[in-house]
Structure 1
Amino acid sequence: MKKIIIISIFIILIVLVSGIFIYQNALKPVKTAEKKAVQIAMEETELTKAEDFYLYNGQETYYVLKGKNKKGINMYVWIPEKEGRIIVRKQSDGASEKEAVSKLLEEKKPKEIISVRLGIEDNRPLWEIYYRSEGNLINYYYVDFETGEWRKSIENL
């Protein structure tokens, strides 16, 4: 009986350690992208402190940072993964996350909002809201960052 308990504990530990190892390896590309984005933003923009990181996969992949400049002004920075122009905006110059969600709630009846993150399409910053509707259908709702207006929807996936 002791032998079975010891073997069971040993197997559980192996599974646990393997799971942690796999999880850390899965996060490695995202952490590498974040490091790269912070370095580029610090070198090529006014950003002096990075507070949050988004990885946006739309038509092209962008790294999006939320942070502050040396004056303490809240900023957003969109950095293309490949070649392209870096876009920098003050947070106050566009719609907030809360305003984007309010726009969704005005027009749709989401069952559950899964995530809200910044993205970019056609060189226009936007908010991407990923939500579930009735029937557990997946939907995306895009709000233009600069105008706060609906941009496009992808529904019932």
Structure 2
Amino acid sequence: MNLSRSEGKRRLPSLSLRRWLVILAGFVVFVIVTFVLYVRSADTDHRNAENNAIRIAKEQAGLVEVSNAVIHTWDETVWVVNGKDAEEQEWMVWEREAETIKEKVSDNMSEQQMIAKFSQEHNGLMPIRIIPGWFQNGPVWEIRYWNEAEQNNQRHQSIDFYSFKTGSKLKTYVLSS
């Protein structure tokens, strides 16, 4: 079977540089949009839980302005919401499964006071992280820091728990490397 003259001379259309650039730009936009949607969907559960914790703190604890909300997991998982009430008093609210505990920051150890106390006790050492939490059935400050091991000259992380009310040390955990 012979091809007709016109069929034999037909050429496939080639893509110009401009068309290649449009296709490439479209692919790049597709990848970026897909990545953004993936990141947003991966973070959705955490953001919904955080918004729910803020809503509960506003409704049950009377906060009108929230500065931050953190989740703490140790003995149990709790949300700790920090904010101010209508009289501009700063409060911390621990949202446990069974109850909500509200403590005035000025009547307890603040984060700055706790950092200063920790640094004094540990010869000027600065913490890696300090967050409010729940430990031994009460509100605490959890402080994570690098500790020098005296035996092997190795650094490892340690976690100290301090009472939120008095600032007294409750327990230290040394994390293995």
Matched, 1:118 2:137: no
> Which structure 2 residues correspond to residues 53-64 of structure 1 after superposition, within 5 A?
53-64=69-80
Where structure 1 has 5 or more consecutive residues not aligned to the other structure, the ranges are none
- The corresponding residue for 2:144 is 130
TM-score of the two chains, using structure 1 as the length reference: 0.81
Matched, 1:155 2:174: yes
Count how many residue pairs are aligned between Structure 1 and Structure 2.
155
1:31 is aligned, of 37, 47, 68, to 47
Query: Any conservation in 2 of the 1:103–1:150 contact (CA below 8 Å)?
Result: no
C-alpha separation in 2, matches of 1:149 and 1:24 = 40
TM-score of the two chains, using structure 2 as the length reference: 0.73
> Which structure 2 residues correspond to residues 9-48 of structure 1 after superposition, within 5 A?
16-48=32-64
- The corresponding residue for 2:159 is 140
> Which structure 2 residues correspond to residues 68-87 of structure 1 after superposition, within 5 A?
68-80=84-96, 82=97, 84-87=98-101
Where structure 2 has 5 or more consecutive residues not aligned to the other structure, the ranges are 1-16, 149-153
Deviation at residue 57 of structure 1 after TM alignment:
0.7
> Which structure 2 residues correspond to residues 66-105 of structure 1 after superposition, within 5 A?
66-80=82-96, 82=97, 84-105=98-119
C-alpha separation in 1, matches of 2:71 and 2:60 = 19
Aligned CA distance change for structure 1 residues 92 and 17 (closer, same or farther; 3 Å): same
